[in-house]
Chain A
């Protein structure tokens, strides 16, 4: 991720009345590295493939925010919709609100932090590769199918405000074959599939930094968050389906 110069001039764009294409054409046309979008009202594909800039979005960006993003920083002062960070390769997305379904689909690198909740299929197909390992931190809770087909990276769900109730829906980690999901909760998630093993996390070294970063972003007490009980979900076997097939030479 390229650093954004703190002294760069800020370009301010009002999204009011603009279609997604008009708004994104403006973003493509500028070399500005520090951009504020005001009055975002559901425009899709903002920051698709973006790199080397910081966008602050006031309002509600539409679906597929930061798709294929490759090293930009996005700050959403509001809620985000579906498919945030689809196939994101690098960068940071910080949502000061909640986000919709399929957040971080196929994400390969970078960080997504959501202060509130995220919808179904958070982190589906997330994968790691060589030195790249994506991270998603959700403050409150996630819908069902969290980490479906997950092949790498780290998901942390903090369950803030849930008083120890499991902050995830059903079928967490269905088809999971890599990576780790940390869930701060006093009770085990419901309806876990056979491909997933669950343990009480004995140490939090892998996520301590992420939780502290989250706490700093959203003004929470990191020590209090880290003092809770965490479960860790991992794939039961690296290759969950290897015995399914038989060779048939016809």
Chain B
């Protein structure tokens, strides 16, 4: 064990009385935490906690349950201002001179508004509905709705409906590129989407040739680097998403290091092997809503108006005004990504300090678009912080048509939120391209776990809707009277458009 900068925050604890030296932990850990030492007596396994990311892989695969990982009680002298976190960050940066790089969503203790909102239920006067006995509709159509009906000379209704996405339930898997996650993770998402009648999103990493067959359940993304974007790709998906921003790192772009651009990734991104894939936050051809409109229409023209176009933005301070502009740009759907949203890598300071909670952003956008009379021009997808079916119901009642699920989907695939994606050594085979690690995620199992989770949530959504006496998710959309705030101040209630509990 070499010199290290600070005592590990998590310690590997082995019960030597039950450990049988089978060395599974040693083989399973890509970080080299465990090592077998025949030279000591008795011969045994030792752990280097400084290398441990607390992914729980060894803990869960240990056949004798001899391992656990605990938060270290080693402590600096307690200080409410200079916490262990602040001190360790300074030590790390003083050692390396680097920008701190982390992954997954903002873990800091900001308020979680979903946990301060409760849902209504019917009693006596408006009977609740039993979803096991009565039909219950969770189908959602995402896209631009015509503002008025038009009739032909024969008096019949004319169809002026643009392309829409039909979702069997109000959930989609959010953008995660091939490169940031593995082939097997993508296959799991694609197959689950097909079985569930929903959509997954390629992210800005192109679409692997083997996955074109899942095109009708695929959203293809176009971002500033244009990786993997060509005409067949645009036609392959059911919708095209323009990525303007990401909740985990608003104002920051993507940067897949050259060492991760290997073989298949290079082919799919259409970039040279070993060369960085840089996709900066600014689209250097977009400086205004008019410019955004140009990109929207260039994509629509290229695909002959057959695909809805989504514009994805991070939830930031002026999100409502920005969304209003997007709704007027010709986009069919707006995706809002809150600051809890995950990422394969983001500068820590950005992840932890930039952006706003999705609950507030979503409510502000929905309110603004309604005030301006343009809410029906666009569908709204809310993402970045959705953790359960209850969060989905609350998001829909705050104004979302559907939600994007990223972290929840990864958790279903085996992720334990160790937040070490940026190392590329994911022991669960998700955020890695190392073949030995990738094969740990079996897509036959992975897709079923995603299907299990979504079906369970769909049923929970039906139960909650039934309780409110609502039998169609469309009737819940923007129905904020179904929500109440608990322990929120007047400003928070005002932004959320909610009454306080008891009112």
- Of B101, B297, B420, most buried by chain A (CB within 10 Å of CB) is B297
For this complex, into which size category does the number of interface residues on chain B fall? 35 or more
Bound form: Cα–Cα A28–B278 in Å? 34
Interface residues as binary, B228-260 with A (CB distance below 8 Å gives 1, 0 otherwise): 011100100000000000000000000101100
Chain B residue nearest in CB terms to A21: B301
A239 and B284 contact, CB distance less than 8 A: no
Contacts of B422 in A (CB 8 A): 245, 247
Interface residues as binary, B72-95 with A (CB distance below 8 Å gives 1, 0 otherwise): 000000000000010001001101
B224 and A239 contact, CB distance less than 8 A: no
Among A21, A48, A148, contact of B298 (Cβ-Cβ < 8 Å): A48
Contacts of B419 in A (CB 8 A): 249-250
Bound form: Cα–Cα A242–B274 in Å? 12
Contacts of B271 in A (CB 8 A): 127, 129, 151-152
Question: Nearest 3 A-B pairs (CB), nearest first?
Answer: A246-B98, A106-B226, A49-B302
B412 lies within 8 A of chain A by Cβ: no
Interface residues as binary, A91-107 with B (CB distance below 8 Å gives 1, 0 otherwise): 00000000001100110
Contacts of A20 in B (CB 8 A): 297, 301
Distance (whole angstroms) from the CB of B261 to the closest CB of chain A: 10
Bound form: Cα–Cα A121–B284 in Å? 8
A182 lies within 8 A of chain B by Cβ: no
Main secondary structure on chain A at its contact with chain B?
loop
- Of B97, B98, B234, B284, most buried by chain A (CB within 10 Å of CB) is B284
Distance (whole angstroms) from the CB of B284 to the closest CB of chain A: 5
Contacts of B67 in A (CB 8 A): none
Interface residues as binary, B29-56 with A (CB distance below 8 Å gives 1, 0 otherwise): 0000000000000000000000001000
How many residues on chain A are close to B (CB under 8 Å)?
Answer: 53
Interface residues as binary, A141-164 with B (CB distance below 8 Å gives 1, 0 otherwise): 000010011011000000000000
B98 and A244 contact, CB distance less than 8 A: yes
Contacts of B280 in A (CB 8 A): 149, 175
Contacts of A70 in B (CB 8 A): 230-231
Would A64 and B294 be within 8 Å (CB), given that A105-B285, A239-B258, A249-B53 are in contact? yes
Contacts of A246 in B (CB 8 A): 92-93, 95-101
Bound form: Cα–Cα A21–B330 in Å? 13
A248 and B92 contact, CB distance less than 8 A: yes
Among B89, B270, B285, B304, contact of A101 (Cβ-Cβ < 8 Å): B285
B298 and A86 contact, CB distance less than 8 A: yes
A68 lies within 8 A of chain B by Cβ: yes
Contacts of A44 in B (CB 8 A): 294, 297-298, 301
Bound form: Cα–Cα A244–B3 in Å? 23
A240 lies within 8 A of chain B by Cβ: yes
Distance (whole angstroms) from the CB of A3 to the closest CB of chain B: 19
Bound form: Cα–Cα A87–B276 in Å? 18
Query: Which residues B98-152 have CB closer than 8 A to chain A?
Result: 98-102, 107
Interface residues as binary, A38-70 with B (CB distance below 8 Å gives 1, 0 otherwise): 000000110011010000000000011001101
Among B107, B270, B284, contact of A129 (Cβ-Cβ < 8 Å): B270
Bound form: Cα–Cα A26–B454 in Å? 44
Chain B residue nearest in CB terms to A64: B298
A73 lies within 8 A of chain B by Cβ: no
Among B101, B272, B274, B276, contact of A247 (Cβ-Cβ < 8 Å): B101
B99 and A239 contact, CB distance less than 8 A: no
Contacts of B102 in A (CB 8 A): 248-250
B21 lies within 8 A of chain A by Cβ: no
